[in-house]
Structure 1
Amino acid sequence: MNFQKTLKNELTCQSVGLHTGRKITMTIRPAASDEGILLVRRDKDRGHRIKVSLENVTDTTLATTIGTNGTAVSTVEHILSAFSGMGVDNAIIEVDGPEIPIMDGSALPFVEMVKKAGTCMQEKLREYLVVTKPVHVSEGESYAMFVPSASFEITYRIKFDHPSIGVQSYHLIVSDESYEQEICNSRTFGFLKDVEYLQARGLALGGSLKNAVILDETRIINKEGLRAPDEFVKHKILDAIGDLSLTGMPVMGHFVAYKSGHKLNSMLLKALFEQKESWTTATAVNIQEPYEALNALDAPSYKMLNAVHA
């Protein structure tokens, strides 16, 4: 587990883009050690590779968008989540359009692609980002935070004024197995009134019951219903795993969030990197319980942590 991984073979899929409605063809390919995840727009400059990193985030409205030099790829969070959840450190993603295909609205198709392509160990050690002190950000009643932990953990709580959602909480110790079994098949979701509003303005043009859980004022309108009773909060965790992979390395820390999203997730990563005393890097997973972790929590951190676990 301490060594980097890439894909053994390349694989291609095709689906519509959630926001453009365009048919997108995507190919995933192996990449060399230390290259990380790279994006290529085949419909633009095939030789221009966009490094997936926090500094290259150009937008967090409705999805996470990565770009440089005027070229961007949006809706990257699901495939990044799949790569992170399945331990893929280095890969090239080629698309012939402006976004990643939405597939069924979850990360399951991408996990299946990774398994079909196969993975292989590389010669370089994997570097981990180790959270050493609490960091938190908030916006209105929403917040996100990191606290030290000897593993990658996520505690997420959502609250929607809808009878099919209400309040949902979930805690996950992230591993290849837990990600595949508990998280990856959770679909994106939206409200019918919002989808209609967005589509009238040229957005969410690819959204349908085939790639999202849609709710009207009182119920879920997908005939097949949910894949799990807590699919909503699990999809938020799926998104968060994709967004947190923008660190460029696996995280050793506990991510705690209440009503967070792409924007707040990105804000938390920026705050973490700005507070250099709050993290370090290591190349081994047998890190001891970090630095009297929870004893170092400040009052706002305690309040947030207790609220999410309530």
Structure 2
Amino acid sequence: MQITAEIPYRTPIAPSTPSLPARSSTALPGRASRATRVAASHQTTLNEAITCVGTGLHSGAQVRMTLHPAEAGHGIVFRRTDCGDTPLIPALYDHVVDTRLSTVIAHPDAPSIRVATIEHLMAALHANRVDNALIDIDGPETPVLDGSAAEFDFLLQCAGSRVLDAPRAVIEILRHVVVEEANGAFAELRPARSGLALAMSIDFDASVIGQQRHAMPLTPERFRQEVSFCRTFVDRQEIEALRKIGLARGGSLDNAIVVDGDGVLNPCGLRHPKEFVRHKLMDAVGDLYLAGHTLQAGFMGHKSGHGLNNRLLRAVFASQENWRLVGTDRAAAQTLAVSA
């Protein structure tokens, strides 16, 4: 069965419960239920396919995108359905070919066949703990929808999730890894005892943005409540320059915050006073999922964007001493090490 969402629903809904084999059990007070524990330790995929239609932020083209369930070990993989028999494009850090204003991936054997602006969708997949999905798309860029991850989050909740009979792997960061730029921007990963926690700070000349900070652990609830709804943004003075190089052709006040000095041009204003830094943190959630698995780590970024986020993953995987794969078998760990 396929669910189609031509006009995304805008009201928050509760996350769907992963479907599990029926088994009667009584959870003890203070302990997680068996369903919750299995869902956390096992790989998941979508319960049903789901489709959305929208405009690409930079290309301006109308795109149709369908997210399909996939088997264990498949990962998040894109397929350009408008380009004939072309290779599948895994959503992995070493397939990133451009980071100007968005994260763009391509297969090494077909570098001209790309999928751009994947970070908001990847953030929603990461936060919803979707390990495996095949994403069909008939254009060069994912639909921007409202410029945030909220509507992708809604689509995933509509599709539901299914637990697979395979353990979930986590990449544990073993050593502090940092990448920096001359302007003081940096991104780093540090070892952590559990989970993924993120902190982001920004510093913009535009007074309506200025200096902002936000930090949170990555859970479906915190993602949904704090960052999923935060939109991409651009300075009004940059729009014409972007369009001259073929970017921002699909941008509008409906899918981006346009900053103009000490204010924003959007009639409805901001969704949150710190929407800018929260959007940057949401971008990092998406970019970091290109590690291929979620991370057990602490992430910190200052003025970090897609380029630094990708450089950080490349620096991590440059040495096996920086990381290890937890929760899967030795053969899978060796495969990831070879690919890295």
CA distance in 2, matches of 1:201, 1:253: 37
CA distance in 2, matches of 1:63, 1:109: 18
1:267 lines up with 2:311 in the alignment: yes
Q: Which moved more, 1:66-75 or 1:249-258?
A: 66-75
User: Number of aligned pairs?
Assistant: 284
Equivalent residue for 2:79, pick from 16, 40, 52: 40
Q: Normalised by the size of structure 2, how large is the TM-score?
A: 0.82
Q: Which moved more, 1:63-72 or 1:152-161?
A: 63-72
Name 2:243's counterpart in structure 1. 199
Name 1:144's counterpart in structure 2. 187
CA distance in 2, matches of 1:45, 1:33: 26
Equivalent residue for 1:17, pick from 56, 66, 83: 56
1:250 lines up with 2:289 in the alignment: no
Name 1:304's counterpart in structure 2. none
Whichever residue aligns with residue 155 of structure 2, its letter is: M
TM superposition shift of 1:133: 1.1
Name 1:52's counterpart in structure 2. 91
- 1:147–1:254 CA contact under 8 A, matched in 2: yes
What secondary structure does 2:263 align onto? coil
Whichever residue aligns with residue 192 of structure 1, its letter is: R
TM superposition shift of 1:22: 0.6
Name 1:300's counterpart in structure 2. none
Name 1:208's counterpart in structure 2. 252
CA distance in 1, matches of 2:119, 2:151: 13
Equivalent residue for 1:65, pick from 97, 101, 104: 104
Name 1:118's counterpart in structure 2. 160
TM superposition shift of 1:47: 6.1
1:174 lines up with 2:211 in the alignment: no
Q: Normalised by the size of structure 1, how large is the TM-score?
A: 0.89
CA distance in 1, matches of 2:275, 2:282: 10
CA distance in 1, matches of 2:92, 2:239: 29
Q: For residues 208-247 of structure 1, what are the structure 2 equivalents within 5 Å?
A: 208-247=252-291
Equivalent residue for 1:96, pick from 120, 127, 138: 138
Whichever residue aligns with residue 143 of structure 1, its letter is: F
CA distance in 2, matches of 1:194, 1:84: 30
TM superposition shift of 1:200: 3.2
Name 2:170's counterpart in structure 1. 128
Whichever residue aligns with residue 104 of structure 2, its letter is: T
Identity over aligned pairs, percent: 37
Q: Deviations over 1:122-173 (max 9, x none)?
A: 1110000001110001011110101111220001100001121110011111
Backbone CA RMSD of aligned residues: 1.2
Q: Which runs of 5+ in 2 are unaligned?
A: 1-39, 329-340
Name 2:202's counterpart in structure 1. 158
CA distance in 1, matches of 2:85, 2:49: 17
